[in-house]
Every structure is written in structure tokens, then in C-alpha cells.
Structure 1
Amino acid sequence: MSDLDMAPVDHRGRTPDGARVLRGSVRDNRRSLIASTALLSLHQFCEVSVPVLIGVAVDRALGNADVASLIRWLTVLALVFLVLTVAYRYGARIAMTAAQGEAHRLRMRCAATIVEDTPPTATELRDGEMLSIANSDADETGNLLRYVPQAGSAVMALIACAAVLIGIDTALGITVLIAVPLALSVVQLLSPFTTRLIGAQQHHIGRSTALATDLVTGMRTLRGIGALGIASDRYREADGRARLAMRRAAIGHGAFFGAATGVTGLIAVGVAALAGWFALSGQISVGALITVLGVAQFLTEPLAIAAMLPGRVATARASAERISTLTARHRLAGDTTVPIDHDSTTVPCPGEFVAVRAPDSAAARTYASTIGSDHRSGLLVEPHSVDLFTGTIWSNLVVDPHAAPPRATVVELLRALGSLDILSGGGTEALDTPVSDRGLSLSGGQRQRLALARALIRDPGTLVLHDPTTAVDAMTERVVAEAVYRHRHGRGATRSTTVITNSPAWLRVADRVVALPGCATTEPAS
């Protein structure tokens, strides 16, 4: 079996619980779904009544040449059309509002997970994949709320059609009652196949999006090492897999909807043929024949909606599983050997500078995310991955312009952090130097020092840094470490700082060095 046929699984190898996401969406929007289903069912009842009223008008008004009766029935028809139009308009509006609102809620849930709850490494998803999930998958999952009321109203319409046909002839009604469940059961057999194909499609689209994001982010580095050709080949390969997955999903969609349309058409033709036979044999009147033909033609719509619901659910289920993979909270207790204990020796005392050594980068990221989940006031965690934004150096350093320090003070801080290269040797006017999207106009070391300066300007009571200077040379790293210590831990300082690092420069200036499990035992600072 190729990787295109595999259903997505989470980082522990388990199938994500997309059904729980869908159940939550339906439960949270149940009032809107009930209202929409009621209005759309009213619309369907009116649709069913149209051929019935036409048949009655033919038998009673035209058959007896009664003009007054014809006018009355035409007026009734006009009122029915008015009701069905209004019911559909507001029923569809409520369903669409629920779908869009749920898609937005899922996007916000994904964004909150990415920004606050779960580090990207915990789910093994790259930025582009998470972006794809938060956009297209959230939309596909939310769209299910559009189809649930339609399916509910379609079932009500099928019941109404069966009742009308039984009223005309019992055999016709029983034919519909038996044929419809059989048809839906046959179409349902294709649902798991469609789910798997849609899941594979969304998975490979996310992978190609992630690779594209990585390429754009690292374009400067790739150009520098002459690897643009190799990177382009890798993207073409990923794009080809995504294209193949989309083609297979389209074939699956086509097979599913083709089967649904074909089966519903056969049922409608069968009902119409049976009614024609009854009319020729004199078992039903001309008006009844018109009613049956109208109902048979109308049957194709609710039958198609009901038959296609499993496909809609399959698509939403595949997307919901990817959302479940992203938003699952992978906390440290079951994922790593690093203990979650904020009262341990890793917690600094007021005014203390503590360096925490980790056995590897994964343990360091995990420990940083654990501290980040602690929502104590006055706590600021500056992650290893630096986030800068389009604007200027000043706008990236100052969060609140009204509470900003003097520009000269900011320049002095940057000088102390060995950042004259960022200022290009200039003064306060250099703070207005433009910064491109994600800070790509700066080097990695410059971005790290800007992020560090931003954290120092915030001046939190407790500051946690994770490998803040991996992109600078050893000499600059020592200057930065000493500058941070002087800035936050002068005489009488009550602020505490924790640095998760194995860098000798930071270990040297720390008041205390603590080792996480897997490292050497706790050792004093030199």
C-alpha cells in the first residue's frame, strides 16, 4: 500500500478522533441546526405539496371546467410558493451562519493551540501543515453543518413523498419505502473509501504547503549554499504526490456522487414507470398521474441529498481528524521523561539567575513549553524560535508605544547586547530601519538579539529564555550573556531569570546551574 492510501495518524501512531470533533460541532450548534432543519423541512413539504395541488386542480377544476375553483387552487399554489421561498431562504441562512461560525471557531482553536498550548514539535507538524489545517480543514469541517439540516429535511421530504404515494396507491408508496433505504445502504458502502482518499489528499496538501513555507523561509540560506535546485526538486516531488492524491480523491468523489445520482435516478424512473402503468390500466386518475410524475421528479432532489450525506461526512471526518491531530494537547507527563514540577530546583528564587541544562534539544523544547503553560502573572517565556514582523526595528521592540522607554535607552540596550550591526552604526534614527516579513532581512543572530532586547524591554518579573544566542559567535554570545545579567541582576534586583541552554557563556554567568534528567548532576556555576 502506498503512502497515498494511508489514513493520517497522530505522532503516537493512533488514528485521530475526528468523530469527537464532529460531535462537538453538532452539539455546540444544535439550536441552529434544529431551526434550520425545521425551516428546510417546511420548504420540502411545500415542494411535495406542489404536484399534489396541481393534480387536485386538474381533477377538480379543469376536469369540471370550474374557473372559480381553478382560481382558488392557483391562489393556494402561490401561497405555497411564497412559504417555500421564505422557509428556504432563512433555513439556508441559519445553516450557513452556523457553518461559517463553526469554521471560525475551529480556526481560532487551532491558532490558540499553535500559539499558546502545544509547541509545533509536539505534533510533528510544520508551519505550512498547521496553516493548511487551520484554513481548508476548518472550512471542510464547518461545512458539515450546512449539510446536516439539508439531510434532515431530505428525510422528511422522502417520508412525505411516500405518504403521498401511499395515498394514491399503496404499491407505489411501499416501493419508495423499500427502495430508498436499499439505495442509501448501497451508496454508504463507498463512504470509508472516500474518507481515506480525502484524508490522504488533505495530508499531502498540508505537506506540500509546509515544504513551500519552509522554502520561502530559508530562501536566503538555500541561495547561499547553492541548494535552490535540490530544494525545487523536493518541492516538485511533494507537489506531485499532492496532485496524485487530489486526482485519486476526485475519482473517489466522482464514483460516490455518480453512484448516488444513478441510484436516485433509477428510483425516480421506476416510480414514474409504475405510475404510468397504473394510469393506463385505469387504477389512478389523470390528476393522480400528474401528481405521481411530479413527486417522482421531485424525489431525485431529496434522494440525492440523503445519498450524498455520507460523502459529505467522509470529507468532514477526514478534515476533523487532522484538526484533532493538531489540537490534541500533548503534555509532558506522557510524552517525555522531563518531570513537570515547578517547585523543583529548576525554579529560580527572586533575584536569581538560573541556567538549566537539557540532555538534548527535544527535552529543552519540552521543558520550555511546560514553563510556558504556567500562566503566572509577570512571567515571560521567549522561545528559541524568533518571531519578528513586518515593520521597523522600533515596532518589533516596543509592544506598547505609550509605555515605551526613551529611544536613546533602547539604543543603549542594543549596544550593550553587541548589536551595532543591527543599528548599522547609527543612533536613534536607526530604529526606524525597515524589517521585512518574519525578519528575513536580518540574519539569524540579529533576529535573536532583537527578540532578546524585546524581552528585556518588557522587563517581566520572571523571564525564561530558551537557547537565546545559538546563531551568534562565541565572543558575541559572551557579551550578550553578561549584558543580560547586568541588566536584570544588578544590586538589589528582585527579578528572576531562567536560561535553558548548554552554552558555556550562559552557564558561566549564572548564579546556579541545574541539570534536567539525562544530564550530569547539578553543578555550581563557575
Structure 2
Amino acid sequence: MPPDVSAPPMSAAALMWRGVRRHRARLLGCYALITSWLLCEALVPVVIGVMIDRAVTTGDLDQLAVWGGVLVTLFVVLSYSYRLGARFGVAALQLEVHLLRVEVSEHVLGAGGARTGLLPGETLSLATSDAETIGELLWNIGYTLAGLVGVVVSAVVLFEIDLLLGLVVLIGVPLVLVVIQVVTPLIARDTTDQQAGIATATGVATDLLKGLRPLKGVGAEDVATSRYRVHSATARDASIRVARSSGYMYGLTAGLSGLFLALVAYLAGTRALDGDISIGELIAIVGLTQFLAEPIAGLGETSAQVARSFASAKRLVEFLHTPPLATHGSTVLDDPRAELSLASMTSGPLCDVDLSPRLGELVGVVVDDPAGADAVVRLVRGEVRPDERSGSLTLGGHPVDELTIDSLRSRVVVSQHHVDLFEGTLRTTIDPDDVLDDDQLAAILEASAASDVVDLHPEGLRQPISAGGATFSGGQRQRIALARAMATRAPILVLAEPTSAVDAMTEQRIADGIRSLRHPEGSSLSTLVITSSPALLASADRVVMISDGRVVATGTHHDLAQRDDYREAVLR
């Protein structure tokens, strides 16, 4: 079944109902079969009671054979009903969990991204723990419906045997459930805190592991560990509160159920001693009394499951309604030679900035503030909403926020300073669509100085890459990311500090490589490099210097090197 591409549900209840609707065929089969199973379970003591009254006490072998056959048939039906019902139910559960994971992934990995404010580990927790908790309710609903049917059938049988016992069951079961509901809100609140705490702790742990090398380099392991310990303790305390609350509820359920069942057994025994009911009816009552313990306990567990599932569903709905990172419209840009232009742009630390790389131009940008450099990157990626900026931001003369996301991303590729590498081989990382021939790939590897990474491994381009590229040094990851960016052959390529982790000789190779690969004579490709590297800036056609959020100078690297502030920013 394909993912539901409609707008995300507006509430936790709507999310849960959507899950029921899109698996209704499997769930109907599951609920019918599970109900059949529990109904047969309820009828087992009844059939045994009838067998005793009609066959055992009378010595009638024909009746014994008939009711023995009925009992065997009952066990066959209940066995296969549960097996098949469980298959349908678990299939629906697993598929719903899968679709929720896909929905979470598409929300953050879609072209527009998502402004969630969550750490990667927190998003992972939503896609795993929360999704599974939501899916579990689909199965639990079937068990709840079956439990209710079992209780009703038991009550009807008890009515047939004795009116008083039937009334006790019909009145006692709702009273037990009402008392159970008293602690359900406590479970829901504690579960929300627990899931949030787990997500935060997971996010911090993921962050810590990803930055383990830099942390060791600056000797900050103890600080990072202490931070994780605090968040982990918070998650632990929340889990303990949930376990305690759940324990109270389960204990209350078991206690009330035990008292209720003891009352039913006492009344039935009294009626049997008075001769008002037969031995078979007494056995049926005792059997039904024991049977009722399971569905009543299950109904109590359902309350806790509903609380947990709705707490997770609420978190997921809030996540799915976070706004996109990039704003976009419906205008399709057809011009492959469109120019990017920032005019009088004010956003964040930037104030009245003009930055417009022309066709075929290699432009270097020096920013004295990392926040300013990040603001430039977010602007050209289309991640700043119109209400968060002023000035003009256009591509091919069209406001960026009016273009389709495909029009923007197909023409403007941004390689950020932080490098994310994914599992696969070196070749699939650089050329995931397999569109480059060997000569083109070799030219890109040479231009990005990534050929050294290839040569160092016996498998060359077939060498495996682990998640995050953890087996590579920082400089190697930068060169692989640069090769990946240049392999897109984007009309406008934006590079943010692409050589900060490489040595001076490699930096010069990369500067020459960018110039030769993207800017030969007659090229219409534009490149914007945000850097403080003298080698990269020296190869640029034009350098724009931004200080205190404003453009303070424009010219060649040689010309700007006469300025004290420029030399302080770039010369090493």
C-alpha cells in the first residue's frame, strides 16, 4: 500500500482513525477472527457444563459423543481463529508502523525539508518508538472488541442460568472499568513526558557519537558525558513514573477483578448449595468466572495502551505540522541560464547585502561572522521565509519563494560546511544516479583532490562508506563532499568553507580544480565560494567582503589584500 500523500491529520484521534481506515480490510478480518477466538473461549466452560449435565450425570454415551465433538470443534475453531486473526492484525500493525516511518522520513527529507527544531535522534525516536506505540493500538482495538463480546456473551449465559448473577456481571464490569479510567489521565501525562525524554536523550547521544572526534580533540568528553547523563536521568525518571503509574493501574485492575470474580464465585456456590442451579451450571459459572479475568484485565490494559498511543500520536501530529525549511510556489523556471541575485538583502545578521554572481563567474565571499555565512547559505537555499527578510532574492528574475522547489534545487546546489555522507560505496556517494562516465568522474575526482582518497584504498571507487563517513578524516570527507557537489554540474554551485580541513597544498589543488572544471573559457556555470582561504579567493574572479553584516568591499583578492581588515580575515 503506498503512503497516504494527503495532508497530515490535525489531531491524535484523526491520526489513529486514519490508521484504522487505511488497513480496514485486514483489521476487519483480524477483529472478526479474534472475536471468534474469544467467543469460543467463553463457550468452552459452557459446553463442558452442558456435557456434564446431559452426559456425565446421566451416563448417556450418545450425548457424551455429541458434546465431545462440539468441544473438539470449538477448540479447532478458537485455535485457527487466533492464528489467522493474529496474522491479519500483526500485518496491519507492521504496515502502519512502516507507513508512519515513511511519513516521518518524507517530512524531513522532502525537497522542502522541515523546520522541526529537533535533534536527529529525536526524529529517529518519533520514527521508531512513537510509530510502534501508535501501531500497537490497532491490534489492541481488536482485543478490546473481542473482550467486550466475551463479557456480553458471558453475561447472557449467566442470565440464562441465574438472573442475580447476570445482574452482578452487568453492573460489576462497568464499575470496574470506571474505576480503572481514574488513573488513565495520569498514564497519558507520564507517557508524554517519557517519550519526550527518550527522544531528547537519544538525540543527545546521537549528537555525542557524531562529534566524538572533535570532543576528544578539545578535551570536552566529560562535559558532553555530563550533559547526556542529565538527559538520560530525566528519561529514566519519566520511564519509572510511567512504570509506577502502569503498575498502580494493573494492580488496581487485578485487585478489582479478583474481588469481583470472588463475589461471582461466592454467589454461584451459594445458589448451587441451595439447589437452584445444577452441577453443570455451577461448573459453567466457575469457568466463566475464571474466563472473565482475562478480558476484564485486557480492558484495563487497553486504557493504558490508548493513553500511550495517543500521547505518541500527539507528538507525531505536532511534528508533521512543522513548517517547511524552504518556501516555494508554483512558478516553473525554464531558463537554464538563470542568474541568482540578492539585492538590498537584510536577514538575520546581514544588512543591505548585494550579492549577484554572473554567468560563468567564480565569486569568493568572505564573512567575518559564522552566523552571517550561515545566513547567506540559508538565503540561497530558499530556507528564509519572506517575513524573515527584506530586499530582493531572485533566480532568473523570479522571486525565489514563488518558484517550485524543483526549479530552485535543479539550478542552485549548496554544499554546506557540515558534511553528511551516507552508506554505500565511494562511487555511489559521488555519482548516486550513475550518470558520469569514467573520464568525467576522473576529472571531478582530480578537481576535488578526492583522487587521493580513491588511491589510498585497494578497492578504489568500490570502497565502502559507513554511515556518516566515520572511517574518513575530516579532510577526506570534505573532498568527497566537494566531488559530490561538483558531480551535479549545477548551473549555480554554492560552496561553504569547502577546504577548512585540508592542508595548504591540497587547498591549492582544489582551487585550481574548481577553476578548471567549472570555469573554462566560455563556461556559463556560476560558483559562489564562502571561504577565508587565500588560495580559493585568489582563484576567484571577484571577492565580496562582508563585515558586521554589510558588504564593505568588492574586488579581486589581490586588490582587497591591501585592506587591513581583509588581510586579518584571510591571510594565515
When normalised by structure 2's length, the TM-score is 0.75
Equivalence for 2:483: 453
Comparing 342-351 and 200-209, the one that deviates more: 342-351
Equivalence for 1:78: 72
- In structure 2, what residue type is equivalent to 1:387? D
Shift of 1:187: 0.9
Mapped contact 1:353–1:496 kept (Cα < 8 A): yes
Distance 2:554 2:262 in 1: 87
Mapped contact 2:44–2:71 kept (Cα < 8 A): yes
Equivalence for 1:405: 437
Shift of 1:199: 1.8
Q: Does 1:158 align with 2:151?
A: yes
Distance 2:541 2:86 in 1: 63
Distance 2:27 2:358 in 1: 54
Q: When you count strand as a share of all residues, which structure comes out higher?
A: 2
Equivalence for 1:368: 381
Shift of 1:250: 1.1
Mapped contact 1:141–1:320 kept (Cα < 8 A): yes
Q: 1:262 to 1:519 in 2, by over 3 A?
A: same
Distance 2:51 2:118 in 1: 64
Pick from 207, 212, 225 the counterpart of residue 219 of structure 1: 212
Equivalence for 1:7: none
What secondary structure sits across from 1:50 in the alignment?
helix
Q: 1:390 to 1:35 in 2, by over 3 A?
A: closer
Equivalence for 1:12: none
Equivalence for 1:416: 447
Mapped contact 1:482–1:509 kept (Cα < 8 A): no
Q: Does 1:439 align with 2:441?
A: no
Pick from 378, 387, 391 the counterpart of residue 420 of structure 2: 387
Equivalence for 2:34: 40
Q: Which has the higher contact order (CA 8 A, sep 6+)?
A: 1
Distance 2:452 2:246 in 1: 57
Shift of 1:112: 2.1
Q: When you count helix as a share of all residues, which structure comes out higher?
A: 1
Distance 2:307 2:294 in 1: 20
Shift of 1:471: 3.2
Distance 1:114 1:368 in 2: 15
What secondary structure sits across from 2:110 in the alignment?
helix
Shift of 1:459: 2.3
- Aligned-pair RMSD on alpha carbons? 4.0
Equivalence for 1:13: none
Pick from 252, 265, 268 the counterpart of residue 245 of structure 2: 252
What secondary structure sits across from 2:276 in the alignment?
coil
Q: Does 1:272 align with 2:301?
A: no
Distance 2:219 2:325 in 1: 39
- In structure 2, what residue type is equivalent to 1:282? G
Which sections of structure 2, spanning at least 5 residues, go unmatched?
A: 1-9, 334-338, 343-355, 384-399, 557-572
Comparing 255-264 and 147-156, the one that deviates more: 255-264
Shift of 1:61: 1.6
Distance 2:268 2:35 in 1: 26
Mapped contact 2:97–2:131 kept (Cα < 8 A): yes
Distance 1:287 1:367 in 2: 82
Distance 1:216 1:373 in 2: 37
Pick from 87, 91, 104 the counterpart of residue 93 of structure 1: 87
Distance 1:220 1:24 in 2: 44
Comparing 107-116 and 185-194, the one that deviates more: 107-116
Same amino acid, percent of matched pairs: 34
When normalised by structure 1's length, the TM-score is 0.81
Alpha-carbon displacement from aligned partner over 1:204-225 (angstroms, at most 9, x marks no partner): 2222222221222111111111
Distance 1:502 1:373 in 2: 29
Alpha-carbon displacement from aligned partner over 1:377-413 (angstroms, at most 9, x marks no partner): 9457445242224566545323255x43326x54544
Q: 1:360 to 1:183 in 2, by over 3 A?
A: farther
- In structure 2, what residue type is equivalent to 1:404? L
- In structure 2, what residue type is equivalent to 1:416? A
Q: Does 1:139 align with 2:144?
A: no
- In structure 2, what residue type is equivalent to 1:308? E
Equivalence for 1:469: 498
Aligned residue runs from structure 1 range 55-70, under 5 A:
55-70=49-64
Shift of 1:352: 6.0
Q: 1:118 to 1:289 in 2, by over 3 A?
A: farther
Pick from 294, 307, 311 the counterpart of residue 300 of structure 2: 307
Shift of 1:318: 2.2
Equivalence for 1:236: 229
Q: 1:143 to 1:367 in 2, by over 3 A?
A: farther
Distance 1:19 1:501 in 2: 47
- In structure 1, what residue type is equivalent to 2:431? V
Distance 1:483 1:113 in 2: 36
Q: 1:511 to 1:113 in 2, by over 3 A?
A: farther
- In structure 1, what residue type is equivalent to 2:33? L
Mapped contact 2:328–2:405 kept (Cα < 8 A): no
What secondary structure sits across from 2:100 in the alignment?
helix
- In structure 2, what residue type is equivalent to 1:451? A
What secondary structure sits across from 1:453 in the alignment?
helix
Comparing 33-42 and 239-248, the one that deviates more: 239-248
Q: 1:298 to 1:472 in 2, by over 3 A?
A: same
Number of equivalent positions: 499
Comparing 469-478 and 58-67, the one that deviates more: 469-478
Q: 1:364 to 1:74 in 2, by over 3 A?
A: same
